[in-house]
């Protein structure tokens, strides 16, 4: 019987209640597949600021280092928004974890599930043509981390600056992630850049073309970021894997999430070259609905499934969770935000959805 060590960081807002359901599902998976998951829980984000004075306490970081993967909830909320930027949950915990573990490969799948087309903000005929995209975003370089970054000068001449920076090595490893993923999907990579303006984008294009040569079965296209935000709205079905730098991936992945109209269903993975990873829902901590038992636990449950698949290599267990989620949606076991206003009285609670998925497995 194999034993796996997972650090569980539920965080703020709806984090703890959706994490509860992910743990429920993991425990069923343990029985069914004869595995043992040792789940060690740690404070992170706002709750960690409240309890320990900082968003990423040493004990939490140590717990993550000792684990094989991190199952992350969500962090932040109005209570901590007035803190100096560097101390706020998002930067002090999330960006810090990405940097510390070199989680350079961010996978953000976004798809319109069968039967949920009407949630998409896109026109019915466009949504009906299908949407199933994997955004592969570089997560530890680019303008987020590039140096120098700062502010200089006085008066009206005072100026701020940030540096966008990419090495060939950094571009190559994320491009490889994208091509590997495309081989298992629709065999198409659309690389998003601004090569008509940015030197970084020109190097990005050059290296991406080089990597493409090793994947003759995968088609590579290049698109400018401004055009990408447009074509996604008009021809969403044309995309498969979208390869993006850190900043462009932040924008494109959020646009893709919104195109599905069901953010509460979308997981994400942030992985390093040893397959260690942090897995979290794509949505935020949603403080407005926290504690009400109405949040959708599926993004958190699918994050657990991605964790099993990518960091623990437990493909069968991950497949079982994914299939159970699909069936749950097909059976119409939905939290309120997925229902039209007329049908909202049929909404299931967070734990009812978790139970249903656990039962199927």
Ligand X SMILES: CC(C)[C@H](C(=O)O)[C@@H](O)C(=O)O
State the binding site. Answer: 77-90, 98, 108, 137, 226, 250, 254, 284-296
Q: Which of 206, 226, 316, 319 binds ligand X (CB under 6 A)?
A: 226
**Least distance from C-beta 186 to ligand X, angstroms?**
23
SS3 95: helix
Q: Assess contact for 191 and 222: CB atoms under 8 A.
A: yes
**Least distance from C-beta 226 to ligand X, angstroms?**
5
Q: Which is nearer to a copy of itself, 129 or 346 (CB)?
A: 129
203 binds, among ligand X, a copy of itself, none (CB under 5 to 8 A by kind): a copy of itself
12, 194, 215, 240: the catalytic one is 194
* Rounded Cα distance, 231 and 118, in Å: 20
SS3 294: coil
Q: Assess contact for 288 and 297: CB atoms under 8 A.
A: no
**Least distance from C-beta 90 to ligand X, angstroms?**
4
Residues annotated in a binding site for NAD(+): 77-90, 284-296
94: DSSP letter: I
202 binds, among a copy of itself, ligand X, none (CB under 5 to 8 A by kind): a copy of itself
Look at the alpha carbons of 43, 337, 302, 284 in this order and tell me if their dihedral is positive or negative. Answer: negative
Instruction: For residue 157, count other CB atoms closer than 10 A to its CB.
Output: 7
347: DSSP letter: P
* Rounded Cα distance, 7 and 5, in Å: 7
* 226 is annotated as an active-site residue: yes
Please report where in the chains the tokens 């007035």 appear, as a residue.
82
**Least distance from C-beta 112 to a copy of itself, angstroms?**
12
- Find out whether the peptide bond into 243 is cis, omega within 30 degrees of 0: no
Residue 90 within binding range of ligand X, rule CB under 6 A:
yes
Residues contacting residue 279 through CB under 8 Å, at least 6 positions apart: 69, 70, 71, 72, 267, 268, 269, 270, 303, 304, 306, 307, 311
Determine the interface stretch with ligand X among 11-19, 90-98, 286-294, 340-348 (rule: CB under 6 A).
Answer: 90-98
* Rounded Cα distance, 250 and 77, in Å: 20
**Least distance from C-beta 284 to a copy of itself, angstroms?**
9
340 binds, among a copy of itself, ligand X, none (CB under 5 to 8 A by kind): none
Beta strands 105-111 and 132-138, pairing class: antiparallel
Token output for 28 = 């069923």
188 binds, among ligand X, a copy of itself, none (CB under 5 to 8 A by kind): none
Q: Which 279-338 residues touch ligand X, going by CB under 6 A?
A: none
* Rounded Cα distance, 314 and 239, in Å: 28
Q: Which is nearer to a copy of itself, 154 or 217 (CB)?
A: 154
* 217 is annotated as an active-site residue: no
* 50 is annotated as an active-site residue: no
Which residue number has the CB closest to ligand X? Answer: 90
Residues annotated in a binding site for substrate: 98, 108, 137, 226
Residue 250 within binding range of ligand X, rule CB under 6 A:
yes
**Least distance from C-beta 352 to a copy of itself, angstroms?**
26
Beta strands 267-271 and 105-111, pairing class: antiparallel
The residues binding a copy of itself (CB under 8 A) are: 85, 88, 90-91, 95, 120-124, 126-127, 143-144, 146, 149-151, 153, 155-170, 172, 194-200, 202-204, 225-227, 229-230, 233-234, 247, 250-251, 253-255, 257-259
> Quick one: which of 130, 325, 91 has its CA closest to 235?
130
Q: Which of 197, 199, 230, 330 binds ligand X (CB under 6 A)?
A: 197
Catalytic residues: 144, 194, 226, 250, 254
Residues at the interface with ligand X (CB under 6 A): 90, 94-95, 196-197, 226, 250
């Amino acid at each position: 019987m194999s034993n796996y060590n997972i650090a569980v960081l539920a965080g703020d807002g709806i984090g703890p209640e959706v994490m509860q359901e992910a743990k429920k599902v993991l425990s069923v998976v343990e029985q069914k597949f004869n595995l043992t998951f040792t789940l060690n829980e740690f404070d992170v984000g706002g709750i960690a600021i409240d309890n320990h004075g900082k968003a990423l306490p040493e004990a939490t970081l140590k717990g993550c280092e000792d684990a094989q993967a991190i199952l992350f909830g969500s962090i932040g909320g109005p209570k901590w928004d007035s803190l100096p930027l560097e101390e706020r949950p998002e930067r002090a915990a999330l960006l810090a974890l990405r940097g510390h573990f070199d989680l350079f490969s961010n996978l953000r799948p976004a798809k319109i599930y069968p039967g949920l087309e009407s949630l998409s903000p896109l026109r019915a005929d466009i949504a009906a043509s299908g949407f199933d995209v994997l955004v592969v975003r570089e997560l530890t370089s680019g303008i987020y981390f590039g140096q120098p970054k700062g502010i200089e000068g006085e008066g009206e001449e005072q100026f701020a600056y940030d540096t966008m920076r990419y090495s060939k090595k950094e571009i190559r490893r994320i491009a490889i992630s994208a091509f590997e993923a495309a081989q298992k999907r629709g065999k198409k990579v659309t690389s998003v850049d601004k090569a008509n303006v940015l030197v970084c984008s020109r190097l990005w294009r050059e290296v991406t073309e080089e990597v493409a040569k090793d994947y003759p079965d995968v088609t590579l296209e290049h698109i400018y970021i401004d055009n990408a935000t447009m074509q996604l709205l008009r021809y969403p079905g044309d995309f498969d894997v979208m390869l993006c730098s850190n900043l462009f991936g932040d924008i494109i992945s959020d646009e893709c999430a919104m195109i599905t109209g069901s953010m509460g269903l979308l997981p994400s993975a942030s992985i390093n070259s040893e397959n260690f990873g942090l897995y979290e829902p794509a949505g935020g901590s949603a403080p407005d609905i926290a504690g009400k038992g109405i949040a959708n636990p599926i993004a958190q449950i699918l994050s657990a499934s991605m964790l099993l698949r990518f960091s623990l290599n437990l493909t069968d267990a991950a497949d079982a969770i994914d299939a159970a989620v699909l069936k749950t949606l097909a059976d119409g076991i939905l939290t309120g935000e997925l229902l039209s206003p007329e049908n909202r009285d049929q909404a299931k609670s967070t734990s009812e959805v978790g139970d249903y998925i656990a039962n199927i497995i």
